[in-house]
């Protein structure tokens, strides 16, 4: 059997001018005039969002795509779903494609829930007859049947999302492309949708390509994973191997965040590093070492106290620890560096990554950086050496009491 998705030497080049919000005719005219007077011309900057991508996915395989922001994950999905054309190379897609780059695409606030099911469904590629047939299950699944004939503008955002997910969960293409859509909405309903998608895909052998930052979700759904970095495939292997490798590579040198996103923020985390007790940078720790998460908060004009939230993730199990701390206000246009210590004799040999967020008093996010940096607890030279069984994630001495 031929692969469901076959990608050969695919590349996508963007001109940087296209990254502008839009091009105005007057700019174009001004540019032409400029060119007239400078024979060298104005050079357009270009960059390859994707380069030399070769990938072959068999029917029924569920493949995750992971990588940092800007690695080209979404571009790849956009090319496969034909939203944007490649610059080089080609791809063959064998089967009906359903793409879910955003839930609720085309929802219109003036139309009722029922009308929006038809509109959204047909935009996503369902035939009218298919929607007719599934209408009742879609409405049932969404849990908004009471309001189904009310215009969408009267729905809460949660209700809109449930309706959108519900339509999406009932798509029945042979190849399903999902981008990050499961990052929103309440957990309970997300689980329901994931469950539904999994059920369908297992039963019908549907091919799934799933882009997410959520390694746990990738691990739950996918068997294999592709790791992209700077537009290239670094690894294509089983989901365990790829996610582990990914966690190890989110490391030094990558902890400085792009400037453009930070310039607009009132307060943000400008750098992150991991240090040992002697304040030396380190990414692999022993079990008996304290792990210092050292990071700098840069304040532009935030005047009130804020909360620093630290989340610890381990690739396959997701978020395993959170810790919040209220910080007093820091003066405007200044920076402050702090270290949060993870105690020794606490984590077991695994790969971990760290999320840091800054929140205001009503828990609104001021800044959030996910998988900002990662580290490993080494197996060697610890009390775990040689242990053949699952040693979990956290090891903590318990409080024992003689209860005779």
Partner 1 sequence: MEKFITHIQPPGRFSLGLKELWQYRELFYFFTWRDIKVKYKQTYLGILWAIIQPLGMMFLFTLLFSRALKIDTGSVVYPVFVLSGLILWNLFSAAISHAGDSMIQNAHIIKKIYFPRLIIPGSAVLLALFDFLMGFFIFLVFCFIYRQPQHWYSLPYFIAGILIVLVAGFGAGSFLAALNVKYRDFRYTIPFLLQVLFFSSQVIYPLYSITHTWLIYLLSLNPVNAAIELFRAGLTGAPVDYTITGIGLFSTLVLIVTGIYYFRKTEAYFADIA
Phi, psi of 369 (to 5 degrees): -130, 125
Of residues 80 and 342, the one with the C-beta less far from partner 1: 80
Instruction: Please give the full DSSP string across 203-255, using - where no structure is assigned.
Output: HHT-EEEEE-S-HHHHHHH-SEEEEEETTEEEEEEEHHHHHHHHHHHS-TT--
Q: How far is the CB of 153 from partner 1 (least distance, A)?
A: 11
Of residues 47 and 341, the one with the C-beta less far from partner 1: 47
Q: How far is the CB of 1 from partner 1 (least distance, A)?
A: 10
Q: How far is the CB of 259 from partner 1 (least distance, A)?
A: 23
**In angstroms, rounded to a whole number, what is the distance separating the alpha carbons of residues 288 and 343?**
8
Q: How far is the CB of 103 from partner 1 (least distance, A)?
A: 10
**Contact (Cβ atoms closer than 8 angstroms) between residue 243 and residue 215:** yes
Of residues 84 and 337, the one with the C-beta less far from partner 1: 84
Partners of residue 306 on adjacent β-strands: 327
Of residues 107 and 295, the one with the C-beta less far from partner 1: 107
Q: How far is the CB of 155 from partner 1 (least distance, A)?
A: 16
Q: How far is the CB of 11 from partner 1 (least distance, A)?
A: 9
**Contact (Cβ atoms closer than 8 angstroms) between residue 329 and residue 300:** no
Give the pairing of strands 175-179 and 207-211: parallel
Of residues 83 and 322, the one with the C-beta less far from partner 1: 83
Q: How far is the CB of 235 from partner 1 (least distance, A)?
A: 23
Give the pairing of strands 232-238 and 224-229: antiparallel
Helix (H) or strand (E) holding 162: helix 157-169
Task: Count Cβ atoms within 10 A of the Cβ of residue 166 and give its class: 0-12 exposed, 13-18 middle, 19 or more buried.
Answer: buried
Of residues 120 and 242, the one with the C-beta less far from partner 1: 120
Of residues 27 and 332, the one with the C-beta less far from partner 1: 27
Of residues 8 and 245, the one with the C-beta less far from partner 1: 8
Binding site for partner 1 (CB under 8 A): 14, 18, 22-26, 28, 78-97, 99, 101-102, 105-106, 108, 110-111, 115, 118-119, 122-124, 127-128
Q: How far is the CB of 61 from partner 1 (least distance, A)?
A: 16
**Residue 122: partners with Cβ closer than 8 Å, 6 or more residues away:** 128, 131
Place of tokens 């294999």: 224
**In angstroms, rounded to a whole number, what is the distance separating the alpha carbons of residues 36 and 30?**
10
């Amino acid at each position: 059997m031929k692969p469901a998705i076959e990608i050969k030497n695919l590349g996508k080049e963007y001109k940087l001018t296209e990254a502008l919000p839009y091009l105005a005719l007057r700019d174009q005219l001004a540019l032409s005039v400029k060119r007239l007077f400078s024979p060298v011309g104005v050079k357009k900057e270009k960059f390859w969002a994707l380069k030399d991508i070769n990938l072959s996915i068999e029917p029924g395989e569920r493949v995750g795509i992971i990588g940092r922001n800007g690695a080209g994950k979404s571009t790849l999905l956009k090319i496969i779903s034909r939203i944007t054309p490649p610059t080089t190379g080609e791809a063959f897609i064998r089967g009906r494609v359903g793409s879910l780059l955003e839930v609720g695409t085309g929802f219109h606030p003036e139309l009722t829930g029922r009308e929006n099911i038809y509109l959204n469904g047909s935009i996503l590629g369902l035939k009218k007859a298919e929607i007719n047939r599934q209408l009742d299950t879609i409405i049932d699944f969404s849990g908004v049947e009471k309001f189904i004939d009310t215009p969408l503008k009267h729905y809460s955002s949660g209700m809109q999302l449930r309706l959108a997910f519900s339509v999406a969960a009932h798509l029945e293409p042979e190849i399903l492309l999902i981008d990050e859509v499961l990052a929103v909405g309440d957990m309970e309903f997300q689980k329901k949708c994931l469950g539904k998608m999994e059920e369908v895909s297992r039963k019908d052998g549907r091919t799934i390509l799933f882009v997410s930052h959520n390694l746990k979700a990738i691990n739950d759904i996918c068997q294999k994973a592709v790791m992209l970095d700077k537009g290239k495939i670094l690894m294509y292997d089983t989901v365990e191997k790829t996610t582990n490798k990914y966690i190890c590579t989110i490391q030094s040198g990558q902890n400085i965040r792009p400037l453009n996103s930070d310039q607009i923020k009132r307060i943000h985390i400008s750098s992150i590093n991991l240090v040992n007790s002697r304040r030396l940078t380190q990414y692999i720790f022993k079990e008996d070492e304290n792990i210092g998460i050292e990071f700098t908060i840069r304040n532009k004009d935030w005047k009130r106290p804020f909360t620093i939230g630290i989340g610890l993730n381990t690739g396959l199990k997701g978020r395993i620890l959170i810790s919040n701390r209220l910080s007093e206000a820091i003066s405007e246009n200044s920076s402050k560096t702090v270290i949060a210590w993870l105690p020794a004799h606490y984590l077991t040999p695994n790969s971990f990554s760290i999320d840091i967020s800054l929140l205001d008093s009503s828990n609104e996010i001021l800044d959030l950086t996910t998988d900002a940096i990662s580290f490993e607890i080494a197996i060697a030279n610890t009390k775990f050496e040689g242990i053949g069984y699952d040693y979990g994630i956290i090891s903590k001495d318990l409080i024992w009491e003689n209860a005779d």
